[in-house]
Structure 1
Amino acid sequence: MRIILIILLFSLIVLFHELGHFIFAKRSGIGVIEFAVGMGPKVFSIERGGTAYSFRLIPIGGFVAMEGEDGAEAEVEENSFGSKTVWQRMQTIAAGPIFNIILTVILLIPVFFYMGSPTNKIDSVMNNMPAYEVGIKAGDVIEKVNGKTVTNGTEVSEAITAAGNKEMSITLDRDGKTVEVKVTPKEQDGRNMVGIQYVMEKSIFGSIKRAFSATYQMTVRMLQFIGQLFTGNLPMKVTEAVSGPVGVISIVNDASQAGAINVVYVMAVISLNLGILNLLPIPALDGFRILMLIIELLRGGKKFNPEKEGMVNFIGFMLLIGFTIFVTYNDVLKLIK
């Protein structure tokens, strides 16, 4: 039952992606033949405004079928995909991945609200860490770091990271009195730390801010990872660094045992992965279609041969299928071990 729930949750991520395509196709006047929830044979279908809204037998993902999307009716029908401007087509294609990024932010908001946002008041100090050694205590309120005013724990952590391993000054409010200490951060697990934990406060505004910040930071790390993947500079083997469907289900399954909020967080990460990867200019992905549209724009609106473009996309799709089989095989090996 847990695996079935995981598959349904993953399907919602895919469905949200397709919803982005659907909304912007409608906005651009592109005819949408069908908006389907699930795959396989139709179970139920109803038509509204020229679009068939259907539920299909296999509850995995969904799809949007647009008029002339494959270029066969590029300029024949007024409401076909190919008859629209480059900008209209580009925003329709880009909407899917962008919706996944938006979904990441939406999913992270309840996660950070549950966790709470770090205030600038110290909850505890870790033994044998720099903060402990210079006399920082629980209950102290951090007002300034290196002379710069801070209002929450996130700003304090950013200031500590920026300081590196150099000595820094921290101004504290201790029972109404101002206390200034000098402390040198210590590197631990790849991060500069002084060994303090903050009092957490549940705040909608703070959760929204942290959701946007976390999405940005994860995006940067993801792009760095993709760069390392293509340059061969990964600090680990490719088989250890990437996972396919089996590996993803295993990760979410492990997270579910730690609580629902962990599942929501992992789903947010998966949604961001789907969004970023789909924006890569790789044949068969949305990013490649966006690249083709940019080149079309630079060529003064001259379209590519749809058959040749379709062939490139088909080859790319087959390569992606092959790569998926490869990582799935490795996922199974990991589970066996």
Structure 2
Amino acid sequence: MTPIETFFLSFIFTWAFASLLSLYLSKKLGKESVSLIPCILFMVKSRRIAASLSRQTYTGNTFKIKLLGAFFILAGVWAMVTGVASLFLNLIAGFTQPSSMSPVLPLVPGITISLESLPLFIVSATVTIIIHETAHAVAAVLAGVKLRSAGFILLTPMIPGGFVEIDEKSLANKGIFHKISIFSAGSASNIALGLLFTLALTNTIIFQSIISPFMVRGEGVLVVSTVKGFPAENVMKRGDIIIAVNETPILSQSDLFSFMRNVPPNSSLSVTLIRDGLTMTVSLTTVAHPSVANRGFMGVITFDYYKPRSWCSSFIDSFSAVSVFQLIVWIVFININVGILNMLPIPALDGDQFMKAILEKVKHGDKLLNIIRAFTLAIIALNILLTILLGKLISL
């Protein structure tokens, strides 16, 4: 199936399932707990879960609670400062050096998120939301703040969401430390998770341990795709396994990178590879690397070769390792970005509640908060506008 066909089938299945689930949950939880606007909005709100969590008490070391709260706050402050400063500096770059400006756009499935990446986005967004809202709930419970409700939300086309509704009266009785630790808990947890998963991207041993129940490291380099218009396009195929170049054994990507680092443009290469179980040799002539002019480039995107274990070889293949890696990349990307952007001081975000709690005892705090909100909204809007005007539209 094409990506568009897969998308529409997934869309129809998801909302059909949501409709059936809403009928079932309406009977179990009551109609007031379930909202459904077909293909647009599906929301489930549970007071029972919130009440159950609110009854939990922590009798352990209060120092540990304060230490965790301090971590939440420090991470939240870092995220807010980083977010505002990055947007401001990016805007300056857009006016002074347009080529160096990073695009700033909302994530919209089908527009800024390609249909091929949509499943990865949905899974990573779901993980992000679960961690985020759980952290808010845990921070509130540890601070002795009651929860009014907790729930799940699904927005069109298939964007998952979640929420924890905190009892405002219960929160109002708490000091500023507890308030801002609760508001920053979600973002802090997302950033921590993003950094944790970054280790799997930068450390081969950790990545291999994640997939080891299903796959084992093989010898060679898997061809994920070729770059259009470059030499490898005509001689290599997706799924080829490179095992040697000019008779130099290639056991991993690091071997291939080390070899190609010393290859200049216009060099003739003899590439030994395995295709459909058969060993063959193909020849090509390198061209200049797009980023390093004095280095040769074949135009191939590769990944370390992993073989499925025998017990699961019928339903996964070598590309499953690539998919896991891509999913981890998305989890890191979404968690770090949500962690930072959610702490921006604009209405509806945790950063706004965080800043409001800090300024509530400050003279003219309301006016100062509105100025901060207006400034932040302005630089976000200008970043998006400049991204569009400069033609820096992207699709992940």
Shorter-chain TM-score category? Answer: 0.3 to 0.5
Relative to the length of structure 2, the TM-score reads 0.35
Relative contact order, higher structure (CA 8 A, sep 6+): 2
